[in-house]
């Protein structure tokens, strides 16, 4: 049911997206073409292409990439944001590649921390709604669907509201790990949005509890709290086929400070039962409070150690997904 492939964001240092232009830059990044080769090596049936890579390409290069992916029967998805700057360019690139989906990150808010924006949160929501409705019409005219991601900013009901308002060609990119970042339980989140899902980010986390809440620490898919087989079953009740990208978590742990009253500013009311199910889910395969949680990137390791860490987790994830029967 899932056409499992790869996106570059969980191996962002190896690809060259993280650290670029700094003293921690990868001296031998994979770039777009190396990333495509890696996806082919792991047997990807879909590939999520970073918009910033595509915007630099000539029309002829895009055409060759389209032909290469078609020959390998790999389904392309164009990815843009956050923020949504460049969404119009992403739609143009999707047309050039015969991609039917553009995955969209809506805001730069992370860790569910809306309070950081204060009163600007409401303004940001209005801007997102306006831009999404405008671009959705543009995409619909070209036969393209927009898949808006739960990018540690919006909850399941909010994403559904956006999609319903913007149009039938707007669906959801379900990031399987990110419900925990907005205080929602992954299975309930998936069940609620499943009919509107258009693309999936397969991400796993181990939670480490703190006095303020919990950290979400990246790990190989299958080593953390996310029940992938159950999620796939829920999605299969609504879809005969979906594209899905392996996306390991960020190189920096996400600290979800939901034990602090301030963190809840900007959120609608939620029942104790809903929050309780989220907290229970975050205790599956948790990291002990004294365990090392920093990645090699956070410990200022050398380039090769960071690359080896990313690619090692990727290959372990592929092995786990094959063992689960999902790849």
The per-residue pLDDT for 327 is 94
The per-residue pLDDT for 295 is 98
CB within 8 A of 276, min separation 6: which ones? none
Least confident of 118-122, 154-158, 257-261, 278-282: 118-122
Strands 46-50 and 214-218: unpaired
Q: Which residues pair with 246 in a beta bridge?
A: 6, 202
CB neighbours of residue 74 within 10 Å: 20
Percent pLDDT > 90 in the chain is 98
The per-residue pLDDT for 108 is 95
Burial of 61 (0-12, 13-18, 19+ CB in 10 A): middle
Mean pLDDT of the chain: 97
> Is it the case that residue 240 has pLDDT exceeding 90?
yes
CB within 8 A of 11, min separation 6: which ones? 30, 35, 38, 248, 310, 311, 314
The per-residue pLDDT for 59 is 94
Residue 280 pLDDT grade (very low, low, confident, very high; cuts 50, 70, 90): very high
CB neighbours of residue 31 within 10 Å: 13
Measure Cα distances from 261 to 164, 257, 315 in Å. Answer: 31, 9, 40
Dihedral angle at the C-alpha atoms of 5, 8, 14, 20, nearest 10 degrees?
Answer: 170
Residue 36 pLDDT grade (very low, low, confident, very high; cuts 50, 70, 90): very high
> Is it the case that residue 119 has pLDDT exceeding 90?
no
Strands 101-104 and 75-80: parallel
> Is it the case that residue 57 has pLDDT exceeding 90?
yes
> Is it the case that residue 235 has pLDDT exceeding 90?
yes
Reading the block at residue 59, the tokens are 């029309």
Residue 118 pLDDT grade (very low, low, confident, very high; cuts 50, 70, 90): confident
Q: Which residues of 140-170 are buried (b: 16+ CB within 10 A; e: fewer)?
A: beeebbbbbbbbbbbbbebbbebbeebeebb
Burial of 92 (0-12, 13-18, 19+ CB in 10 A): middle
Bond prior to 164 in cis (omega within 30° of 0): no
The per-residue pLDDT for 224 is 98
Measure Cα distances from 112 to 33, 40, 69, 233, 274 in Å. Answer: 34, 34, 36, 27, 16
Q: What is the pTM of this model?
A: 0.97
CB neighbours of residue 240 within 10 Å: 6
What would the mean pLDDT of 38-49 be, rounded to a whole number? 98
């Amino acid at each position: 049911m899932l056409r499992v492939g790869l996106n570059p964001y969980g191996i962002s240092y190896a690809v060259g997206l993280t650290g670029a232009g700094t003293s921690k830059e990868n001296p031998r990044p994979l770039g777009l073409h190396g990333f495509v080769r890696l996806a082919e090596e792991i047997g990807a049936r879909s590939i999520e292409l970073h918009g910033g890579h595509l915007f630099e390409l000539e029309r002829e290069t895009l055409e060759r990439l389209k032909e290469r992916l078609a020959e390998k029967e790999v389904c392309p998805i164009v990815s843009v944001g956050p923020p949504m700057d460049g969404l119009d360019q992403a739609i143009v690139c999707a047309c050039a590649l015969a991609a039917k989906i553009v995955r969209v990150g809506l805001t730069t808010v992370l860790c569910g921390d809306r309070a950081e924006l204060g009163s600007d949160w409401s303004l940001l929501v209005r801007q997102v709604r306006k831009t999404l409705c405008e671009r959705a019409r543009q995409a619909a005219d070209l036969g393209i669907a927009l898949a808006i991601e739960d990018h540690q900013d919006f909850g399941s009901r909010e994403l559904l509201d956006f999609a319903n308002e913007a149009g039938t060609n707007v669906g959801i990119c379900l990031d399987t790990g990110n419900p925990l970042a907005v205080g929602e339980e992954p299975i309930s989140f998936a069940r609620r949005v499943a009919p509107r899902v258009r693309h999936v980010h397969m991400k796993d986390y181990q939670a480490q509890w703190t006095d303020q809440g919990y950290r979400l620490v990246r790990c190989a898919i299958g080593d953390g709290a996310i029940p992938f087989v159950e999620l796939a079953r829920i999605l299969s009740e609504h879809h005969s086929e979906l594209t899905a990208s392996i996306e390991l978590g960020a190189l920096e742990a996400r600290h979800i400070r939901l034990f602090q009253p301030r963190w809840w500013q900007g959120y609608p009311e939620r029942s104790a039962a809903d929050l309780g199910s989220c907290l229970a889910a975050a205790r599956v395969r948790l990291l002990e409070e004294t365990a090392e949680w920093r990645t090699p990137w956070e410990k200022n390791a050398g380039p090769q150690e960071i690359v080896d860490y990313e690619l090692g987790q990727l290959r372990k994830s592929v092995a786990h997904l094959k063992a689960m029967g999902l790849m």
